[in-house]
């Protein structure tokens, strides 16, 4: 009967995600949380209480990372593609090596 909070860090895009769950909630067959910026799956669990996205913050201290790391980021620069004519046919991925 406790509220649990845990962190997931993504050093690729320098973000820290705060996820929470309450262990008295009924378990669901599958729960997942997606990044609000690029829609990749941050965390998934089977037969677990629902996981909730609490907040995201900039990851400022990479010397003190959480135990849970992800490296994928699919964030795209859509503004440059729309406003700079020479960028229209280029890959808009901000981190193209980490798709």
Per-residue pLDDT at 92: 65
Higher pLDDT, 96 or 8: 8
Confidence of residue 77 (pLDDT cuts 50, 70, 90): confident
pTM of the predicted structure, to 2 decimals: 0.80
Check whether 35 has a pLDDT greater than 90: yes
Mean pLDDT of 54-83: 86
Check whether 85 has a pLDDT greater than 80: no
H or E stretch at 42:
strand 41-48
CB 13 within 8 A of CB 56: no
């Amino acid at each position: 009967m406790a509220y649990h909070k845990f962190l997931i860090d993504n050093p690729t895009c320098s973000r820290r995600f705060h996820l929470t769950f309450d262990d008295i909630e009924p378990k669901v067959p599958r729960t997942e949380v997606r990044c609000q910026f690029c829609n990749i799956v941050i965390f998934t669990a089977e037969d677990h209480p629902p996981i909730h996205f609490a907040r995201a913050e900039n990851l400022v201290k990479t010397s003190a990372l959480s135990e849970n790391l992800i490296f994928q980021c699919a964030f795209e620069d859509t503004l440059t593609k729309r406003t700079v004519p020479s960028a229209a046919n280029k890959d808009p991925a901000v981190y193209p090596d980490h798709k």
